[in-house]
A and B are shown apart, each in its own frame.
Chain A
């Protein structure tokens, strides 16, 4: 009996049981929903909501993670950051608000890790006022704990937010100091070491806009990338990612779309830098709930269509 337990227990854990039970519960629920709908009975919208909640909550409680392989659009950006010599100037623009943060904050953190690890000089700024608050999260979760030796003003600088959307870009494309006479802590532009040899966006080696709304990457492409001929890449919320494909690869060298893009970048980062193996990878963790929720939504579409065709056939017969 003891031998039997020692063989079984490590293989079947509470986590596995929980995962299987929750998957079975969701599957059973979907079958119930299908039968109920087939009978023509009304299904309350709150039941649908419950399914989505379960599909998201179950993989969070009993996580299952997958390994991700970077797609060409993601790989292009990763390779660009990788190929720049240490000391290159990379601008990260936080053009997002809390509503987009679950999708794009993991990207912002991954870019920060990658750039600082490579020894690039990182310039942070934002076209969304909320971006300044979101940068504090990167500061708290990434820069402070993982790069304590990096110095503000020497290895990175936070310029903060300026109002005016594309108006801001139209100025910095020719003159940084005019728009940002100081950084966010009112340190004058001239005394910030990161800006040595940098007059405008034209002197930057790479610009990455992280966002998903307006102003965002579109404005960066129109007002800076195409005008100053600076390499531009982006990490955006999934909703806007399809709209940016016409710019790839000529006007946009790389593109991370939604949490999948973040997961691919995190995975590539961990593969290349084992040091980050224990760093948080929210993108990869979110792929479990994402997968299950997608399956449930696809089941809804299938069930809805079966009901639709069944009813249509019945109506035609009658």
Chain B
């Protein structure tokens, strides 16, 4: 029950979805199974929320380090959950969109979720700069190649690059930095990315096959669970 049933489910669903591509009458079945997948995905969101609460309530009850902040997490969670589930302040009735302009849910999204989410990533701008100063060294041939390519792209993606090489005649326009940057993207970058893409593609295909055939079982964890 603990291992054989999941292995059978994976095999059955995986095979069915592959077959649905080749056998048109099975298309409808394939669509339904995909819809099941979409619905289960929402339960995964519920699981995420439940797990978050479990972790933070545990931290709170055991008064672990920084337990005070768990109150913030829990309050924020329930505040957003109430605003969304009860559609508080929605301009329409229950049928209107949960993100309708003016609703509490959208207000929290715009004034809390957006600044928090975007600033988290905006910090990376500072760290990239710091890394450029401290770690980006032409230590060997490979690093030098990487540096030169990065330099051309950095220059080529700004109007400054155009200004620098605007004097180069059209018959040698490949030497103009913006054109050179475009060319690098369309040639070397394309080749390198394609090699990576093919490698990953083959990896995904072989892993999918291993999963469907039950060779790969690590996702089931160990039996003691």
Q: Which of A248, A291, A301 contacts B160 (CB 8 A)?
A: A291
Please name all residues of chain B whose beta carbon is closer than 8 Å to the beta carbon of A133 when the two chains form the complex: 99, 106, 109-110, 113-114
**Is B155 part of the binding interface, using a Cβ–Cβ cutoff of 8 Å?**
yes
Please name all residues of chain A whose beta carbon is closer than 8 Å to the beta carbon of B158 when the two chains form the complex: 260, 287, 290-291, 294-295
Please name all residues of chain A whose beta carbon is closer than 8 Å to the beta carbon of B140 when the two chains form the complex: none
Please name all residues of chain B whose beta carbon is closer than 8 Å to the beta carbon of A303 when the two chains form the complex: 133
Shortest CB-to-CB span from A228 to chain B, Å, is 13
Interface size on B, residues (CB 8 A): 61
User: Which residues of chain B from 69 to 126 have any CB-CB distance to chain A below 8 Å in the complex?
Assistant: 92, 95-101, 106, 109-110, 113-115, 117-118, 120-121, 125-126
The answer to whether A298 and B154 touch across the interface, beta carbons within 8 angstroms, is yes
The answer to whether B117 and A298 touch across the interface, beta carbons within 8 angstroms, is no
Query: How distant is the Cα of A212 from the Cα of B148 in the complex, in angstroms?
Result: 26
Looking across the interface, which residue of chain B has its beta carbon closest to that of A170? B34
**Is A29 part of the binding interface, using a Cβ–Cβ cutoff of 8 Å?**
no
Q: Is the interface of B mostly helix, strand, loop or mixed?
A: helix
Q: Which of B109, B121, B126, B185 contacts A245 (CB 8 A)?
A: B185
Query: How distant is the Cα of A49 from the Cα of B84 in the complex, in angstroms?
Result: 38
Interface size on A, residues (CB 8 A): 64
Query: How distant is the Cα of A165 from the Cα of B45 in the complex, in angstroms?
Result: 13
Q: Annotate A125-162 by CB proximity to B: 1 below 8 A, 0 otherwise.
A: 00000101101100110000000000000000010101
Q: Annotate A281-312 by CB proximity to B: 1 below 8 A, 0 otherwise.
A: 00000010011011111101101110010000
**Is A167 part of the binding interface, using a Cβ–Cβ cutoff of 8 Å?**
yes
A-B CB contact pairs (8 Å), 22 listed: A66-B159, A71-B182, A98-B114, A130-B109, A132-B97, A133-B106, A136-B106, A163-B38, A163-B42, A164-B41, A170-B34, A171-B34, A174-B27, A174-B31, A242-B189, A242-B193, A243-B193, A245-B186, A294-B158, A294-B160, A304-B134, A308-B138
User: Which residue numbers of A lie inside 8 Å of B, CB to CB?
Assistant: 43, 45, 48-49, 51-53, 56, 66, 68, 71-72, 97-102, 130, 132-133, 135-136, 139-140, 158, 160, 162-165, 167-168, 170-171, 174-175, 178-179, 184-186, 242-243, 245-246, 248, 258, 260, 287, 290-291, 293-298, 300-301, 303-305, 308
